Amino acid sequence: MTPGLLRGARTPAFRTAILFGVAAASALAQAPQSTPAPPPSQSTEHHGQVIFSRSADENGQTSTTAGPAVSGGEPVNQAVNAPVATDAERQAITFTAFELDVHLRLDERQIAVRALVTVRNDGASPLAHIPLQISSSLTWERILIAGHDAHFTAAALNSDVDHTGQLHEAAVTLTQPLAPGAELALDATYSGIIELNARRLTAIGAPDETAFHSDWDRIGLEFTGLRGFGNVVWYPASSVPAILGDGARVFEAMGEHKLRLFGARFRLHLTAEFPHGHAPTVAVINGQLAPLSITDSAAAGEDVPGVATASVEDSTLGFEAPSIFLAVRTAKQTTNAKIFALAPDEPAVEDWSASAAAVTPFVEGWLGGKPRSELTILDLPDPEGAPFETGSLLATPVQRATPEQLDGMLAHALTHAFLHAPGKPLPAWLDEGVAYFMGTLWTEHESGREKALEALESERQALAIAEPSSPGESPGQPLSQAVSPVYYREKAAYVFWMLRDLAGDAALSAALRADAPAAANGGKFSTSAFEQRIAQAAMNGGGASSSSASSLEPQTETHRDLAWFFADWIDADKGLPDLSIGDVFYAPTEAGNWLVTVNLANSGYASMEVPVTVISAETSITRRVFIAGRGKAVERFLLQGKPTKVQANDGVVPETEASVHVKTME
């Protein structure tokens, strides 16, 4: 297990499976043989009227029969062969509020949900249908609007944002179109079985064992993990179909979904039934520990199930997919973290505890002395299961490992705990970008700057491919609106490395300490305010420095104007710069000195400031040089000895082709 593995943990770890090629999506998952009854409606009385019924045949196939017709003689629920909703309708829907009542029967792998959701039409045209999607292993049962049954069609939709490779989409027909900007509340019930399923991966040729290491979502007695959209769609969603093998489309769809949920109100009440003596010991909802209430009376007899409940009230979603974890584990408190491990893995807890203790002072030095939430480490049942992180949760196999394997990972994970205040969302590029940045800083701390820059360089090519070649070609993804991990993780980490060189360790640390709570206090993150904080911190004693991350001592008292940097690298996406060293002229002067003139050109559209070093046999001299987008610069050096080499950029500024340029003198 390596720190690099965690970089993909916030998306399903099935990137390697894409290499097998594109194939048809998997067949529709079998409907459950038996399902719990949905929660009763609070707003409508039915007096025994049957809206629809379901029955299962000997093969587990279910059939749905519509009950008496609603007004107009149309059935409430109608199965159709093809989806009715359009992509334009799916893209227009934004969920602004969730109130979920989730009931689990752990030994039967069953889930029943009543979902009160509010949607807004963010499209340009009125909507005739409201598309609602859930995993194909779940079945829509009833949808109400204003307390009255709504007519909807239900169809299978091929999409790999769910582990089955398909969604069940209900297209709710509106009696009056929903105007742009208008909101609508819906009351939906659905149920089914969620078990291990990796059809989307096996359909494109992934071996079963490999597929299940990635797609480990399920409901179970000892472990329940529902990671949400992109893994298993257990709550209502609306998305355009995305298929594995279509570039990075599935990962972009996951990012778009999270971005559209940012700021949505969220409440959840969870009830889980379990056989006597098998009570869960930990619940994590949306990446935060949730207190469990357990009722399990032996006197009542073993045939009476125990009940576990947990709730989240009045929360606000960040850049995340709602998730539920419930498990039977043994808890171990360690430095700024709580580890929930399986009994066979308890000996490994010592390794993880030692690493958490070792990296905590380093993280505290950068982000402050107290985390805003406690890191939760949840042991996965599969020792080779792909790690996953959301909020302050790291779900991963807890195995014996060396400090070299664990320290970088925990520096990344603990950063999330230091930044996250429960229910107070952070922008993805700040949350994930700082965590990745801290992981690479730990590499520098342990192995030197060159090794840290090598880690950045390993991701640069993917970023260069994703970036537009010019702002006119496409708008790209400004960091505040980024939906692809290569932007909000890798590019954001580069941004913090560049800010570190521009403003200095102390200035950047001071801005991060001040801005993380400011962004989490219910307000929007302001890049202009962040820029002002960095500039003020630099002016007050945090000058430019390329020192070790563990050294936060002021270097100089300088004020840096960073407006160009925020404009080109954060507020807009101008692609990557592309530097070249042009002609180098040099001539001897007096006392063994040489005057060296270096011509530089930037054919990219993003401005850059890079270190330029001129080297002789006797010495070297380095200056930071600014080169505007599509611009040129000329820098003169007075050097002791005849120049032998010129180097521009050291790998901190990502470029299209290469991030280190060397020209040797003849």
User: Across the strands, what pairs with 663?
Assistant: 646
Tokens of 351: 């390794």
Q: Which residues neighbour 384 within 8 Å (Cβ) at sequence distance 6 or greater? A: 213, 397
Same domain, 542 and 597: no
Q: For position 425, what pLDDT does the model report? A: 83
Same domain, 590 and 559: no
Q: Does residue 518 carry a pLDDT above 70?
A: no
In a domain, 338, yes or no: no
DSSP string, 193-222: E-----HHHHTTT--HHHHHHH---B--SS
Domain end call among 542, 571, 600: 571
**How sure is the predictor about 74, in pLDDT bands with cuts at 50, 70 and 90?**
very low
CA-angle at 384, arms to 383 and 388, nearest 5°: 100
Average confidence (pLDDT) over 53-76: 38
Same domain, 454 and 495: yes
Query: What CATH number does the domain containing 644 carry?
Result: 2.60.40.10
Q: For position 324, what pLDDT does the model report? A: 98
Q: For position 537, what pLDDT does the model report? A: 66
In a domain, 50, yes or no: no
Same domain, 559 and 489: yes
Going from the C-alpha of 215 to that of each of 236, 242, 450, the distances in angstroms are 20, 17, 36
Query: What CATH number does the domain containing 469 carry?
Result: 1.10.390
In a domain, 290, yes or no: no
The number of angstroms, rounded, from the C-alpha of 61 to the middle of its chain's C-alpha atoms is 36
Same domain, 526 and 602: no
Q: Which long-range contacts (CB under 8 A, 24 or more apart) does 86-89 make?
A: 86/129, 87/240, 88/123, 88/125, 89/123, 89/127, 89/128, 89/129, 89/130, 89/131
The parent domain of residue 597 ranges over 579-664
Same domain, 215 and 165: yes
Phi, psi dihedrals of residue 173, rounded to the nearest 5°: -85, 125
Average confidence (pLDDT) over 636-652: 97
Same domain, 474 and 436: yes
* Minimum mean pLDDT range among 62-76, 152-166, 210-224, 247-261: 62-76
Same domain, 615 and 508: no
**How sure is the predictor about 54, in pLDDT bands with cuts at 50, 70 and 90?**
very low
In a domain, 330, yes or no: no
Q: For position 10, what pLDDT does the model report? A: 39
Average confidence (pLDDT) over 440-447: 96
* Minimum mean pLDDT range among 46-50, 96-100, 279-283, 557-561: 46-50
Q: Does residue 95 carry a pLDDT above 80?
A: yes
Q: For position 60, what pLDDT does the model report? A: 33
42 touches 145 (CB < 8 A): no
CA-angle at 643, arms to 637 and 649, nearest 5°: 65
User: Per residue in 367-418, pLDDT tens?
Assistant: 988 898 999 999 999 999 999 999 999 999 999 999 999 999 999 999 999 9
Same domain, 199 and 150: yes
Q: Does residue 56 carry a pLDDT above 60?
A: no
* Minimum mean pLDDT range among 51-65, 234-248, 329-343: 51-65
Domain end call among 230, 263, 296: 263
Average confidence (pLDDT) over 163-182: 97
In a domain, 15, yes or no: yes
Q: For position 236, what pLDDT does the model report? A: 98
Q: Positive or negative, the Cα torsion across 275, 276, 278, 284? A: positive
Q: Does residue 365 carry a pLDDT above 90?
A: yes
Same domain, 481 and 617: no
As for how many domains the chain has, the answer is 3
Same domain, 552 and 593: no
**How sure is the predictor about 600, in pLDDT bands with cuts at 50, 70 and 90?**
very high
106 touches 274 (CB < 8 A): yes
Same domain, 534 and 598: no
Q: For position 6, what pLDDT does the model report? A: 41
In a domain, 17, yes or no: yes
In a domain, 451, yes or no: yes
The average confidence (pLDDT) of the chain is 85
Domain end call among 263, 298, 324: 263
**How sure is the predictor about 172, in pLDDT bands with cuts at 50, 70 and 90?**
very high
In a domain, 541, yes or no: yes
| Element containing residue 352 per DSSP (H, E) | helix 349-367
Q: For position 517, what pLDDT does the model report? A: 54
